[in-house]
């Protein structure tokens, strides 16, 4: 069973569209994260949620809106997609908020054309 699963794995869409990426973890963790990885492999945290509450919002444009309906899910909705949003987005989870031993999903490769 996959510990952290994201859907879809690939997403190609046009500029201006709105899209969502879903994430679910079956590890019983209380903290979930979204990371963005650019073309140079640089990983940067976007959001972290602890017990469904937003803890970290790393100056991400408000076109990005995370939603955590419960501790096992953290979805990412993106409005008005731009070319610069093209990247691989990773969901992760951990027990406790320090990200220690965080488990990552397989990633969602978003391409905006």
Partner 1 sequence: GESVGLHLPTLSVQEGDNSIINCAYSNSASDYFIWYKQESGKGPQFIIDIRSNMDKRQGQRVTVLLNKTVKHLSLQIAATQPGDSAVYFCAEIPSSGGFKTIFGAGTRLFVKA
Give the tokens for residue 61. Answer: 């444009």
CB of 69 vs partner 1, minimal distance in Å: 19
Q: For the window 5-44, what string marks contact with partner 1 as x by the rule CB under 8 A?
A: --------------------------x-x------xxxxx
- How deeply is 77 buried, as exposed, middle or buried, from its count of CB atoms within 10 A (0-12, 13-18, 19+)? middle
Number of H helices, E strands in the chain: 0, 11
Among 11, 102, 110, 112, binds partner 1 (CB under 8 A): 102
What is the Cα–Cα distance from 98 to 91, expressed in whole angstroms? 15
Segment interacting with partner 1 (CB under 8 A) among 17-25, 59-67, 71-79, 104-112:
104-112
User: Among residue numbers 46 through 85, which ones bind partner 1 (CB under 8 A)?
Assistant: 48, 50, 55-56, 58
């Amino acid at each position: 069973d996959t510990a952290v699963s994201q859907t879809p794995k690939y997403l190609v869409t046009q500029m201006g569209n709105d899209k969502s990426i879903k994430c679910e973890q079956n590890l019983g963790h209380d903290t979930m994260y979204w990371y963005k990885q650019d073309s140079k492999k640089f990983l940067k945290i976007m959001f972290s949620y602890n017990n469904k509450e937003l803890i970290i919002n790393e100056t991400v444009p408000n076109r990005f809106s995370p939603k955590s309906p419960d501790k096992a899910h953290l979805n990412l909705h993106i409005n008005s997609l731009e070319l610069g949003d093209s990247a691989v987005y990773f969901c992760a989870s951990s027990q406790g908020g320090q990200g220690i031993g965080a488990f990552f999903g397989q990633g969602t490769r978003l391409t905006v054309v």
